[in-house]
Amino acid sequence: MPSSTVENYLKAIYIGTNSLDRPHRLLPMGQLASALNVTPGTATTMVKTLAESGLVEYEPYTGVALTKAGQKLAALVTRRHRLIELFLVQVMGYSWDEVHDEAEQLEHTVSDRLVDRMDAMLGRPEADPHGDPIPNADGLVKPQKVQTLLTCPLDTTVTVTRVIDQDKDFLRFIEHHNLKPGEAISVEERDPAADSVRVRGSNDRRLTIGTRAASKLLVQAVHILLLVLLAAPVFAQATQKAEPPRTSLSGYMDFHFNKVEFEDARLDFHRFVLLVTHSFSERIRFVGELEVEHALVEGLEEKGELEVEQAYVDFLLSRSFNVRAGMLLMPIGIINERHEPPVYYGVERPFNDTVIIPTTWFEGGAGVHGEIGRGWRYRAFVTAPLDAAEFNADEGIREGRQKGSEANIRRPAVTGRVEYVALRGLTLGVSGWSGPSGFQFQPLFGVPVSLAETDARYTRRRLELRGQFTQIWIDNAGRLNEALALRVGVNPNIARVIRGFYGEAGYRAISNPSFGEIGAFVRYENFDTQFRMPAGYIALPQFDRDAWTIGANYWPDPDIAVKFDYSLVRNRSTVIEAPNVFSVGLGWWF
């Protein structure tokens, strides 16, 4: 059974999204935090947990929406709350302005059997004392066509159907002036300059109220009410209108100060990324991401890069099966698909996610994705392969990415990921990649590359743990070294097996609504691009490296992170010393 906190969040998302203009929309995180009277950081942390449990869909750049499972659970929590309110008023003799707080407590404790008995005793009501619709036992609500006192026709009799503010003083004001649900009134005048609305009651009593109060009273014209009663079966079977096309712009940025031992300090605007999403319909959407690295792009100079990291179309067919095609992020590891600065500790990405897994790793391709059963997610794509002619001893396969630029796809690669998220706070993942990579050489010979990765993330209250293990196999590495030595005149000393792993622990020690959050972390990594060598080749010890990184993040807002860290790096060489690194960063998304 979900905790009361989980139920409160789901109910708030349910009510919040239903108050917005369009169906299938995302509720902004700030609006959710305000509704629950918590900090945005607290709300974001809880929403991520709900997303891992498959109850919500969280898009960092836009907001949160309920999944089908979350929608059903939220509707049933709302049903309990509103039936309890009506029971307390009609049976227990409570006034309508004092039942909300009581129902907030009771909704988490009453049984489904008791709720059903209350529903039957009350005559299967469709609305609570405030006019809020009560979902039925299946979580469904009859559609209503309503307006506010700001939008209804002037000098037309309308019936108050709903009051959308539960504040006690406001409810008493409504009751005192005979504006409760069921009352017949009309709007005589609206004065924008005075920010007021003049209302005439059924007893011809006139009252002037502010536009803010008027926006909280939902009404229906009397003739519309009659039509609704006559056409109830039609409304019950009506299909939902298609969502109109919409486009949203978001992005993230990274600004870094790095002091590498034995080198001059550097200040770098590392990344400026813009993300465009466009929904053609409920079933088809486009996602595109354009990144500028190091602030400046100068022809072929090593100043920076301009890259299209994502540009795909999603065909959303069902929960379990969807199709995606275009420029895709490889679904490997923790960081490659989720690398916005506020979501991870540390100024730079973990060494394992740059040296072993070559983030950001993207290629052109197509494939499928979806959710199966309770808590299982999958992604599987056919993509362009790596180019073995660009492998090296220091960074392994990193420079072999073709990045969707006239990529050779004589023999494509395959990649996939499976995640399990059914346990609260825990995400388990397994990723794989396999493909040929020797297409550059004449005579042609095969260089098959395979990658296997597993990772885990666990969050409980303020504690955050994560770990990742990756191993890469490069078949025919000996012949690859020979071919590259003939081409460039230097032995590249590429390994046949590359391995890396890390473990990280973080704790948000300070969380204050007016100040923000501070979290400290420690991470240990081993990343060895010379783990196993082909016959006749000796591993270079400077490329078997360990790193301890300690630091802290400060989130003045959940979408902004100020970061500090120090990396103590060591290798197995007695000649070449690995440099330590001190870094300060500012990262944000919007």
For residue 221, what is the domain's CATH number?
A: 2.30.30.90
pLDDT digits (tens, 9 = 90+) for 440-470: 888 889 899 999 999 999 988 889 999 999 9
pLDDT digits (tens, 9 = 90+) for 221-261: 765 444 444 444 433 443 334 445 578 788 889 999 999 99
Please check the confidence at residue 521 and state whether its pLDDT lies above 60: yes
| Omega prior to 459 cis, within 30 of 0 | no
Q: Give the pLDDT score at 226.
A: 45
Token pair 């010979």 is found at 445
pLDDT digits (tens, 9 = 90+) for 400-451: 999 999 999 989 999 999 999 878 778 899 999 999 998 888 888 989 999 9
- 38: CATH: 1.10.10.10
**For residue 239, what are the contacts with CB-CB under 8 A and spacing of at least 6?**
none
Taking alpha carbons only, the member of 108, 112, 69, 107 closest to residue 422 is: 69
**For residue 132, what are the contacts with CB-CB under 8 A and spacing of at least 6?**
82, 162, 164
Number of folded domains in the chain?
A: 3
Please check the confidence at residue 357 and state whether its pLDDT lies above 70: yes
d(CA 108, CA 92): 19
pLDDT digits (tens, 9 = 90+) for 41-99: 778 888 888 887 888 888 775 688 898 888 899 999 999 999 999 999 888 888 888 88
Contact 584, 347 (CB under 8 A): yes
Mark whether 455 and 327 lie in a shared domain. Answer: yes
Q: Give the pLDDT score at 488.
A: 86
- 469: CATH: 2.40.160.10
Write the single-letter amino acid at 500.
G
Task: Compute how many other C-beta atoms are within 10 angstroms of the C-beta atom of residue 548.
Answer: 14
Interval 490-499 mean pLDDT: 96
Q: Give the pLDDT score at 298.
A: 65
Mark whether 168 and 60 lie in a shared domain. Answer: no
Residue 127: inside a domain, yes or no? no
Instruction: Tell me if the pTM is above 0.75.
Output: no
DSSP designation for 27: B
Residue 243: inside a domain, yes or no? no
Residue 138: inside a domain, yes or no? no
Q: Which domain holds residue 491?
A: 249-589
Contact 589, 340 (CB under 8 A): yes
Interval 160-166 mean pLDDT: 87
Mark whether 221 and 309 lie in a shared domain. Answer: no
Taking alpha carbons only, the member of 362, 331, 345 closest to residue 462 is: 345
pLDDT digits (tens, 9 = 90+) for 169-196: 899 888 888 888 888 898 888 888 888 8
Contact 445, 476 (CB under 8 A): yes
Residue 398: inside a domain, yes or no? yes
Token pair 């100068």 is found at 298
Q: What proportion of the chain, given as a percentage, has pLDDT over 70?
A: 93
Mark whether 319 and 435 lie in a shared domain. Answer: yes
Please check the confidence at residue 115 and state whether its pLDDT lies above 70: yes
Mark whether 278 and 382 lie in a shared domain. Answer: yes
Please name every residue paired with 419 in a beta bridge, in sequence order, or none if there are none. 377, 429
d(CA 181, CA 178): 9
Please check the confidence at residue 137 and state whether its pLDDT lies above 50: yes
Mark whether 260 and 379 lie in a shared domain. Answer: yes
d(CA 348, CA 334): 14
What token pair was written down for 481? Answer: 């070294």
Mark whether 472 and 565 lie in a shared domain. Answer: yes
Among the listed ranges 253-262, 350-359, 511-520, which one has the minimum average pLDDT value? 511-520
Residue 110: inside a domain, yes or no? yes
Taking alpha carbons only, the member of 432, 444, 563 closest to residue 506 is: 563
Please check the confidence at residue 332 and state whether its pLDDT lies above 90: yes
Mark whether 212 and 346 lie in a shared domain. Answer: no
CA distance to 216, 505, 522, 565, 581, per residue, from 550 (Å): 51, 10, 4, 6, 11
**For residue 383, what are the contacts with CB-CB under 8 A and spacing of at least 6?**
328, 330, 363, 364, 365, 367, 412, 413, 414, 415, 435
Beta strand spans in 261-293 (E):
266-279, 284-293
Q: What is the maximum span of the chain, computed from C-alpha positions, in angstroms?
A: 101
d(CA 355, CA 502): 12
Q: Give the pLDDT score at 223.
A: 52
For every residue of 159-202, DSSP letters joined together read: EEEEE----HHHHHHHHHTT-STT-EEEEEEEETTTTEEEEE-T
**For residue 39, what are the contacts with CB-CB under 8 A and spacing of at least 6?**
33, 511, 512, 513, 516, 517
- Please write down the long-range contacts of 578-581, taking CB distance under 8 Å and 24 or more positions apart: 578/542, 578/545, 579/260, 579/261, 579/262, 579/263, 580/260, 580/261, 581/258, 581/259, 581/260, 581/261, 581/348
Q: Give the pLDDT score at 304.
A: 65
For the chain, the average pLDDT equals 87
Residue 288: inside a domain, yes or no? yes
Mark whether 64 and 160 lie in a shared domain. Answer: no
What token pair was written down for 85? Answer: 């309110």
Residue 355: inside a domain, yes or no? yes
**For residue 235, what are the contacts with CB-CB under 8 A and spacing of at least 6?**
142, 143, 228
Q: Which residue has the higher pLDDT, 351 or 559?
A: 351
Please check the confidence at residue 511 and state whether its pLDDT lies above 80: yes
139 Ramachandran zone, left/alpha/beta (phi>0; psi -120 to 50):
left
Mark whether 88 and 35 lie in a shared domain. Answer: yes
| Omega prior to 341 cis, within 30 of 0 | no
Write the single-letter amino acid at 124.
R
Q: Which among 237, 258, 282 is the end of a domain? A: 237
Residue 137: inside a domain, yes or no? no
Taking alpha carbons only, the member of 331, 346, 330, 334 closest to residue 455 is: 334
Mark whether 305 and 396 lie in a shared domain. Answer: yes
Mark whether 354 and 382 lie in a shared domain. Answer: yes
Task: Compute how many other C-beta atoms are within 10 angstroms of the C-beta atom of residue 226.
Answer: 11
37 Ramachandran zone, left/alpha/beta (phi>0; psi -120 to 50):
left
